[in-house]
Structure 1
Amino acid sequence: MMRVVLPLCLLLASMFARGSEAAVSCNAVQADLYPCLAYVVQGGNIPQSCCTGIKMLKQQAKSASDRQAVCRCIKSAVGRVSYSSTYLKNAATLPGKCGVKLPYKIDPSTNCNSIK
């Protein structure tokens, strides 16, 4: 259990602590994606609040700099914690399962600078 809780705490802390110059802050990203954590860690059913958060994130990131900032927040958080391939797979599938097309993949190798 501690192996799961510690990475999640670090993920949330890193997302919460890191700001952004774009209109969408990492605090907003964290708030929108927080309901998704249970699915990322445990799988199962995706909470409707998670899908609502992903839709909100897309709506709030109107400019290229906003989309790049959201991407960087997610990438930074993923890069700071120990994660498993299952967590990454679950996180990467969230937009599609929620019916949301994001302009980037939720993946630590995503080049956020290339997002338009």
Structure 2
Amino acid sequence: MASFMSLKLACVVILCLAVGAPHAQGAITCGQVVSSLAPCIAYVRNNGAGGGVPANCCNGIKSLNVPTRSTSDRQSACNCIKAVAAGIPGINYDLTNKLPGMCGVSAPFKISPSTDCKSVK
């Protein structure tokens, strides 16, 4: 099951890299977003079991705060996170949306299957 999940995540990363490639230089890529947030996946799939938010998860969330300052970067990050989250079985969206605050970061959008990333400013 774990190897299937890794394969699925790898496919999403490759897809995101291919889709994100035409963006202007300096724009955040889906690969950067996935790499930064990968340490959070087990936490949100296991409903926060095991205690507090892993430090590497918070570090990843914080690392995205700087490169997502423009509207287009926030929209790209939103689209990427939304697509990756849709491919993760058992994800807890409520917990996922609490993570930025738990890590001391303000998120400019909520993640859910119905999020309209075009409306992110």
- Give the aligned residue type for 2:15: A
Distance 1:41 1:12, change over 3 A: farther
Deviation string 1:36-88 (CA, Å, 9 cap, x unpaired) is: 12211222321111111111112111210000000000111123x2533x522
Q: CA deviation at 1:5?
A: 5.6
**Could you say which structure has the higher helix fraction?**
1
Amino acid at match of 1:100: V
- Once superposed, which parts of structure 1, at least 4 consecutive aligned residues long, lie more than 6 Å away? none
Question: SS where residue 75 of structure 1 aligns?
Answer: helix
1:102 is matched with which residue?
Answer: 107
**Which runs of no fewer than 5 residues in structure 2 stay unpaired?**
none
- Tell me the residue number matched to 2:116: 111
Count of aligned pairs between the two proteins: 112
Counterpart in the other structure of 1:11? 9
Structure 1 unaligned spans of 5+? none
Q: Which amino acid aligns with 1:94?
A: L
Please list, as runs of the form range in 1=range in 2, the aligned pairs for 1:41-80 lying within 5 A after superposition: 41-42=45-46, 43-44=48-49, 45-79=52-86
TM-score, structure 2 normalization = 0.79
Q: Which has the larger radius of gyration?
A: 2
Change (3 A) 1:6 1:93: farther
Cα separation, partners in 2 of 1:37 and 1:12, compared to 1, 3 Å: farther
Sequence identity, in percent? 39
- Cα distance change of structure 1 residues 90 and 97 upon mapping to structure 2, 3 Å threshold: same
Aligned residue in 1 for 2:30: 26
Amino acid at match of 2:53: I
Is the 8 Å Cα contact of residues 18 and 73 (structure 1) preserved in structure 2? yes
